[in-house]
Amino acid sequence: MRTMREEVVNLLNTLNRTFYAELAEAFAASRGATEPGLVRVLAQMQPGARVLDLGCGQGRVAAMLPAHCEYTGLDFSGEMLAIAERAANTGRLGSPPRFIVADLLDPAWPALVAAPYDWVILRAVLHHIPGAENRQAIVNRAADCLTPQGHMLLANWQFLEIERLRRRLLPWDVVGLLPDDVEPGDYLLNWQREGYGIRYVHWIDEDETAILAAGAGLTIEMLYRADGHHNNLTLYAVLCRI
């Protein structure tokens, strides 16, 4: 497999940064009221668990946790974190939620999060990370943040299985790239709600999920699809140590 050049990684990461900076409010407002697949995972958490939410966006996980959990959310978008801070229900948590602005592509982010954690969540974020090596490095670093009995959640958008999302795919030349500049499974999607935007996304299926887990020394404990009109919008994987 060809390796993505650093300048292409930076371009695609900047594309996503721009999207979430300019369209944070519209994006947060567009999210559905419930995510059954996420509820299924959160039901496994014990009250009082320490939870690290990487790529936390508008902080939905914080609002859905069991009582008295200790929550840390990290995201590269200060605009999304501002929404998360406004929405945070501090009364339910064991301590006020902590939000950190940091980019997962920066290898220094683990020093900011005060590990270890009982749960590390990577929900709707890995599919925005350009480059297979970068995705694996992030999962590896996330695994290092777990307690010995800790669990990790990977949740990735199955956009190619949804016809309305396939219709929003764009050619690479709209951002000045060629197909050979990117890796297999890489795509561009447009956004046309209260503004126009473009996001980089990567298709992470069961096979890639297994590779990411094994590369981090983890095993898949649960694997299922859920959410959306046909329960196929998101691929959920709960991982634990081998």
Radius of gyration of the chain (CA): 17
Using CA atoms, how far apart are residues 100 and 116, in angstroms rounded to an integer?
Answer: 16
pLDDT reported for residue 175: 98
The half-sphere exposure of 95 on its side-chain side, counting CA atoms within 13 A, is 9
Tens of pLDDT along 68-116?
899 999 999 999 999 999 887 656 677 889 999 999 999 999 999 999 9
* Alpha-carbon separation of residue 117 from 50, 83, 237 (angstroms): 5, 24, 18
Residues 196 and 15: their CA atoms lie apart, in Å, by 12
Chain CA centroid to CA 11, Å: 19
In a domain, 1, yes or no: no
In a domain, 230, yes or no: yes
| Cα(136)–Cα(209) distance, integer angstroms | 10
Tell me the per-residue pLDDT of 204-215, one tens digit each, with 9 for 90 and over: 999 999 999 999
**What pLDDT does residue 26 have?**
92
Amino acid letter, residue 194: E
Range of the domain at 116: 6-241
Whether residue 166 is contained in a domain is answered as yes
What is the residue-averaged pLDDT of the chain? 94
**Among candidates 83, 70, 67, which has minimal Cα distance to 120?**
70
Number of domains in the chain: 1
Q: Which of 79, 101, 74 is nearest to 21 (CA)?
A: 79
151 lies in a domain?
yes
pLDDT at 67 exceeding the cut of 80: yes
Say what the pTM is.
0.95
CATH of the domain at 181: 3.40.50.150
Has residue 213 been placed in a domain? yes
